[in-house]
Structure formats: C-alpha cells, structure tokens
Structure 1
Amino acid sequence: MSKAPTLQAASFAAIESMAALQEACRSWRREPRLGLDTEFERSRTYYPRPALLQVATRTGNYLIDPLRLSDLEPFFALLREGDILKVMHSASEDVEIFFRMAGAVPRPVFDTQIAATLSGYGHAPSYRRLVAEVLGVALPKDVTRSNWLNRPLSCAQRTYAALDVAYLLPLYERLAGELARAGRDTWAREEFHGLLDEERFDPDPDSAYLRVRGARELSRRERAALQHLCAWREREARRRDLPRGFVVRDPALLAMARRSPRTASELVAAGLHRREAARSGETLLGLIRAALEAPENELPQPGPARVDPREHGALLARLKRIVASKAEALRLPPPFLAPRESIEALVRAWRVDGRKQLPAELTGWRRSVVGDALVAELERSP
C-alpha cells in the first residue's frame, strides 16, 4: 500500500530575495545533482511565462519566485554548471523555460520520464504514477490548473510545488541503477541529449506551414500562399507574444491559401477576424499576391509521397509486427521504440523515393535494436 508524503518532502524554503538566492546557490554548487521543475503559464502568450522555479537537493526543497526577483543570474550560472546533474520529469517544457530565461539549456540533464520508459514502466508515465509505483508514495492530486502567476500563492500550491520536486532525486537513484543494470544507460543519455537541441525552441517560420493539417492536399501554388501566411503568423505571434491561434487560426490560413482572396472582405469571408483584417489585411493580401506571381521554381516542393496502404499494406504490417516483437522482448512501448511515422518513412525511403536510408528516428541506439531488422525485412521482401 502506498504511503503519504513525509512532512520533510512537503516542506520547503521560499527564496524571494537576492540575498537568499545567492546563499542558496553557493550551497547548491556543492551538490552532485539537483531536482528541478517549473510552474508557468502560456495559455494566452506565445512564450511561456515562468511563475515558480522549484529546486530539490538531498536535504530540502526550495521555491524560487521569479516574480519577486529581477536578477536570477546566480541560479542561471548554476544551470550552466556542467558538473551538476539536473534531474527533471518530462523535461522538454522545463528545458525551454530555462532556455528562454537563461539563454542556454541546462546541461547535463536526466529525465525521469524517459528513464522510466526505458526501464519498462510504460510509455511516458506521469510523475505521480512513477512516485507511487517506484517509491510507494501516494501524492495528492495536483493543482496545476490554478493560476501560478497570482500572488500570494496558496498553501496548497506551494506544497504541491515542493512535492513536485521532492522525489526527483530518489527516482533518479532507482532509475539510474535500473538503466545501468539493464545496459541501457547509453540509450538514456542519447535520449536526454535530444532534449537539449536549442533549434526546436525557435523553429524556422518558413517551415511553419508544414504543421498545418491539410497542407499536403494543396497545390504547389496554394502551398506557397500557405507558407507565406504561416511564416507571417509565426513572426507576428512571437512579436506580439500571443498564441498562434490568437493571431489567425489554422482553418482561416488554409481557406485563404485555397481561395486567394483579393480584398479585405474576402479575407474575412475566409475566416480572418475583422480586427485582424483591418490591422493586417493589406500585408496578407500582398503575401497572397506574391505567391500567385512567384515563378514555378520558387514554389515549395511537394511533400513526401504518401505510402499507399493498398500497395504497401502487407509490408507495413510485417514491419509493425517486428517492432511489436522487439518492443515486447525489451519491455518498451512500440511507439517509443519505432513510431508509426518512422515506419512509414522507412517504407517511403526504400520503396517510393529509392533513397534507402534510415529515418533519423531509427538511428542511434534504435538502429541495432530494431532498425537493422526492419531494413533486413525490406531487403527480403519483394
């Protein structure tokens, strides 16, 4: 039976002054590893707004209030300290927060969610479930839907925030040991390294159209219009610090690309809000005209050819069975070992494009574990 969190796990020290931060950071520099978490809001902004930074050491939990501290450089310097391991759970968004705040990603990192997946605990287990299953502690239900930017924070919020880091280091101890015994620690390091790619935080605006559902069905000229419109929206969302959909929603962009409107009223008919049409209509119409007038050699190339299930369905099924068999033997979730998209990309490379190369998602440690077996099946199959 799971036990309740200890009083020590739920306790914390609040850091709300520069003197307290400097003193804490001097102490933390002597630690071999730190547990880290963040609370933030981004429901109405493009960039996440940090609301609380949590730190766990071997002896206590700390809550740093970024709304009360104008200078966090002592903490940022610690994040860049290569001799201190930063332990996080589902670290992708936390790494982005630290990148936005500090201008660099924390290194090195250990993600307990990835480590747990590699250790046979299922696909992307939650922190709460992992603490219960690995450590036998039942955490209270979270309060993440509350507004973390409001001050003062409630007692429940602060306790939740402390508990959110309190068990990261014990989880690390258990999971690091399991990974080492299974010979998967190098796999884990490879996965952790992928979290630190800074390019993913500022994607190329000219590639934003590829994320719009329905872009594949457009003609090349329509796709050029969508590319121009999406690149403009991406830059505007960043400049205004608004979610992309608050600037223009995807369906409106798609409709504008298809209809090639020539007036502000036609933009509105395609789904653009009247206020945005008044504000940016001329710019958008100019982008659409530029796409209509662009020479053929400047239009976006067609996307990857689809893998026809009627032609390649049997082969796809065999490859998926290989993945399922390997995943079961390794106690790994099949989508983690080889996502469906990567299997289709592999078939496309071999049978449609003639490139005969592994997709990036099947390289690294996955190549010897499953990639080579998939290639062997492709080479065997008629």
Structure 2
Amino acid sequence: MTDAQQTAEASPDLSTREPSGPAPVPLLTPREGVPPVTADTDTLDRVVAAFAAGDGPVAVDAERASGYRYGQRAYLVQLRRAGAGTALVDPAACPDLSSLGDVLAPTEWVLHAASQDLPCLRDIGMVPTRLFDTELAGRLAGFARVGLGVMVETVLGYSLEKGHSAVDWSSRPLPEPWLRYAALDVELLVDLRDALEEELRRQGKLDWALEEFAAIAAAPPPPPRKDPWRRTSGLHKVRRRRQLAVVRELWTARDRMAQRRDLSPGKVLSDAAIVAAAQAMPSDVRTLAGLHGFGHRMGRRQLQQWQTAIDQAKSLPENELPQPGQPAEGPPPPRAWADRDPAAAARLTAARAGVTAHAEALRLPQENLLAPDVVRRLCWEPPAERSREAVTTALRQLGAREWQIEQTAEVLVEALGADA
C-alpha cells in the first residue's frame, strides 16, 4: 500500500460525500454586489492598483464567445482577491491587460479548468507563473464530477446559477444577469481552492497536484494544428482523395470568410454542408444550391464562392490531392497491434490493466495517473532493458511527471517484462 493510499484511508473522504442532507444554499449575488465593467484605461489603472495591493491568491476566469465569434478570444475577464474585491474587465475595450498580468505574476492564480482559459488570457498579456487548478485538483482528489457548480455545491454547500455559460459574451452591453453570473464564478473560487488543498493534503496527493500545476504553468503554447481541416465532423464519410480535396478547399474558404467576418466557422457554413458537397461533387451553382446546408437563404454570390472552391479541388493534379489518412505520428492505432506486433499488443494489454487497477486503488482517473499516449508509446517501443531505471528514463523522456513515474514505473516494468 502506498503512502497516498494509507493517508487517504486514515480519515473520511470529502470526495465521496453525497449531496444529500441539508440543501445547498443558493448563491444569488456577490458579497459586494456586481461591480461595474472596467472598459477604459483610467478604470483599469485603478483595478491594477487595487489588485496589486490585495492579499493571497487571485481567482481568475474568462468568458469567450465560442460558437458565435471566430477564434477563442476572451470577451470578459473576472478576478477576485482578498482586499481588492471582484473586478470585471472588458478585453474588447482594454485589449492589453499586461499591466494587470505583471502585478499579479508573482501571485498564485486560481482557475477552474485552467487549460481552457490560459490561451485567451495569454493573448491579452495575462500569464501566470503559479496556479492552482480546482478542476484538476478535484480529479486528483477522486471527485466523480468536477464541474465548478458541482464542486462548489459538494465541497462548500452553495449552489451556483449556470444558465449563462453558453451565451454570446461578445454582445454589448452585457446584461446585468450575465455580469452577476460572471462575478459569482470567482466569488468562491479561492474558498474552493483552500478546501481542495486540505483534501489533497489529507489524501497524500498535494505534492502530486503541485507538480501538475507547475507543469501547466510552464507549458509553452501548443503549436498550430497540422491539417486542421481533417477535424471536419463527418469526414469519415468521405472516401476518395478528390472528395477530400473538396473538403479541404471548402474548409479553407470558410475559415478565411469566418475570420474576415469575425464569425464562428459553423455560422458561415456547417461541417455537414461541407461533407455533403464533397460527396455530391456538384458541377454548378444550381446543383450546389440543392444540397443540404446550401439552401435558399444563401445568396448567389456566396454560392459562387463555394462552387469556386469546389472547382479548384476538381482541377488539382493527382499529386496535390490529400491522402485518405492523416500521416501517423507515433504508434499505430491499438486495434492494429495484434496483427502488426502481437508482443506489443500483449504489453499494452498488461500495461493498461496494471495502470487502471493502480489508478482505481488511488481513486483518481487513469488518464491523470498516466496519459494513455505515454502508455502506448512505451509499449510500442519499450527500452531494451526492462528495468525500473530504464523505464523511468523512458517515461521521463515521454513527458511523464516525477510523481507519475514513482507511482507507475513498477507496474510498467512488470507489464513490459511479459515478453522479455
């Protein structure tokens, strides 16, 4: 039994607490009321000064307009810190928040699902050096559900309204109920952080969490996705290379138009329409207009733009047509292992079973104990020497954190030794 298992069994587990008992208390308004939106440099300067003078961690959240606008820009940033209260900042009016980011850089930032908000915060000059992710903390602590509302209710006994999470945050002016919702998202975030820190300490997992948080804060921005058009929904229905070229040309034309109009690409042309056009390969605008997604509401000029993209795909030489499958990076799909390398398939089966069993014993998700891609790569190309030292080195090279290596190395040595 590991130290974490012994510690976790020593006292009652907060993560298993049922929401039965007293009903959660509805949290209807922030303690100091809904603050006005900061939308000019003078007000921003006062916010910066107030948060610089505040105490302790700072709760941070961001609202985007996913499904409405192009990209993942922040349209509202919420912050709360002891001694400073809550601030709501409009990045559309104040696009450079580096002054705020600079004064808060030495402070621990508390976010929920940090990886979702960090890219848009980075774009406006806000980059933490230390953070605490309450969603990830909940996963490591063994909570079955880790949404912010559920966590606040389970851990702190309050219920949050979540009715405005998918609204168009690029709208101006922002309605008061939306602003109240946004302010409440950071109202108890530091309280939740403190409770989760104590729970992780009780379970012997706090060091694991701190290592994970440090890795998130230090991670560089992800590189641009290769061939993003291949993520078109329904692409599996398109079999021929020339049809794939139609998908690629339509996706590219749609992306340019969406960026120019600052609209979500799905509002310009649906993925289903792109796939339908690729399957039908229409020869003219009239035929195109009869396809799903190219209905009577679309003007002739716009239809002609889509037809031009289709015609471009039709005219490409064979050597410029995309291949049916995206070039594989790393191991092949696991379903192909049994035929290509039965020994590797046996290693993967044993490794998955061992890691899953250990994750269950530790009461945390298997993917948080060790990323499935790391397990696959290790099993496909294992070290020549099946020792703990060699496996530790391989895991480190694959990006596993030290706590993950400590918890899984022996399990993987045993799994890799199955065919040695």
TM range (shorter): 0.7 to 0.9
RMSD, aligned CA: 4.0
Q: Match for 2:68 among 35, 38, 44?
A: 44
1:294 aligns with 2:316: no
Q: Call closer, same or farther: CA 1:348–1:265 in 2, change over 3 Å.
A: farther
The 3 A distance-change label for structure 1 pair 140 and 109 is closer
Which residue, out of 178, 184, 199, partners 1:163? 184
User: Which residue of structure 2 aligns with residue 79 of structure 1?
Assistant: 101
Counterpart position of 2:5: none
In the alignment, the residues of structure 1 paired with residue 400 and residue 196 of structure 2 have an alpha-carbon distance, to the nearest angstrom, of 24
Amino acid paired to 1:42: S
SS for the counterpart of 1:143 is coil
- Give 1:332 deviation, angstroms: 0.6
Contact 2:110 2:131 in 1 (8 A): yes
8 Å CA contact 1:209–1:231 kept in 2: the answer is no
Distance 1:251 1:140, change over 3 A: closer
**Is the partner of 2:153 in helix, strand or coil?**
helix
Aligned pairs for 1:225-240 (under 5 A) are 225-240=246-261
**Does the alignment pair 1:248 with 2:274?**
no
Structure 1 contact 89–112 (Cα < 8 Å) conserved: yes
What residue ranges of structure 1 are gaps of 5+ in the alignment? 351-355
- 2-side partners of 1:52 and 1:302: how far apart? 37
Give the Å deviation of 1:38: 2.5
Tell me the SS of whatever aligns to 2:36: strand
1:192 matched residue in structure 2: 216
Instruction: Sort the Cα spacing of 1:336 and 1:13 in 2 relative to 1 into closer, same or farther, 3 A.
Output: same
Deviations 1:54-94 (A, max 9, x none): 21111353232528x83354x43222443122211123333
Matched residue, 1:353: none
Deviation at 1:131, TM superposition (A): 2.1
Q: 1:209 to 1:231 in 2, by over 3 A?
A: farther
**Aligned-residue offset at 1:25:** 0.8
- Structure 1 CA distance, aligned partners of 2:413 and 2:247? 36
1:322 paired to 2:354? yes
One-letter amino acid matched to 1:380: A
Residue equivalent to 1:110 = 132
Does the 8 A contact of 1:12 with 1:61 survive in 2?
A: no
Q: Is 1:142 matched up with 2:170?
A: no
1:198 counterpart SS class: coil
Contact 1:61 1:166 in 2 (8 A): no
Alpha-carbon distance between aligned partners in 2 of 1:266 and 1:359, rounded to the nearest angstrom: 56
Cα 1:345–1:117 change in 2 (3 A) is same
The question of 1:55 aligning with 2:92 is answered no
1:288-338 per-residue CA deviation (whole Å, 9 max, x = no partner) reads: 422x53258x75765444433793787655443223211112221224435
Q: Contact (CA 8 Å) 2:347, 2:418: kept in 1 or not?
A: no
**Contact 1:45–1:241, Cα closer than 8 Å, also in 2:** yes
**Equivalences for residues 332-351 of structure 1 within 5 A:** 332-338=364-370
The answer to whether residue 396 in structure 2 is matched with residue 363 in structure 1 is no
- 1:174 equivalenced with 2:195 (yes/no): yes
Query: How has the CA–CA distance of structure 1 residues 374 and 104 changed in structure 2, closer, same or farther, with 3 Å as cutoff?
Result: same
Percent identity for Structure 1 against Structure 2: 20
Cα deviation 1:33-60 (Å, max 9, x = unaligned): 3111233433322234644322111135
Aligned pairs, number? 366
TM-score (normalizing by structure 2): 0.70
- With normalisation by structure 1, the TM-score equals 0.76
Task: Give the Cα separation in 1 of the matches to 2:312 and 2:192.
Answer: 55
Taking structure 1 as reference, are residues 243 and 7 closer, same or farther at Cα in structure 2, changes over 3 Å only?
closer
8 Å CA contact 2:60, 2:80 repeated in 1: yes
Distance change >3 Å, CA 343–CA 65, structure 1 → 2 = same
**Mapped contact 1:35–1:168 kept (Cα < 8 A):** yes
Which of the numbers 58, 82, 89 marks the counterpart of 2:112? 89
State the AA in 1 paired with 2:44. L
